[in-house]
Amino acid sequence: MPTYSYRCTECDTAFDIQQAFTEDSLTVCPTCGGALRKLFSAVGVSFSGSGFYRNDSRATTSSSTPSTPAPAAAPAAAAPAAPSTPAAS
């Protein structure tokens, strides 16, 4: 079950409580009966495994990246030149 943090808006009492996702949020301070406010903080996220960052597992080569540079594309064939017309005199 996740742990939620609350703080009273009137007496500044702060506490943490474990609640199920299906439970309603608390609204009344157990100390003074004032209104509670749910506190939000940054969550620590840890990405583990390969594929998240470019520098993951640099020691091994991936089969999806070529080990040699790709050959340059061949230039396109030139279009045939238009027939020249004699200059009018």
Number of domains in the chain: 1
Domain range enclosing 29: 3-39
Q: What integer pLDDT is reported at residue 30 of this predicted model?
A: 92
pTM over 0.75: no
Q: Do the domain assignments include residue 69?
A: no
Q: Do the domain assignments include residue 29?
A: yes
Q: Do the domain assignments include residue 23?
A: yes
CA dihedral 54, 58, 62, 67 (to 10 degrees): 100
9-38 pLDDT tens trace? 999 999 999 999 899 999 999 999 999 999
Q: Do the domain assignments include residue 85?
A: no
Q: What integer pLDDT is reported at residue 14 of this predicted model?
A: 94
Average pLDDT over residues 52-71: 58
Q: Do the domain assignments include residue 66?
A: no
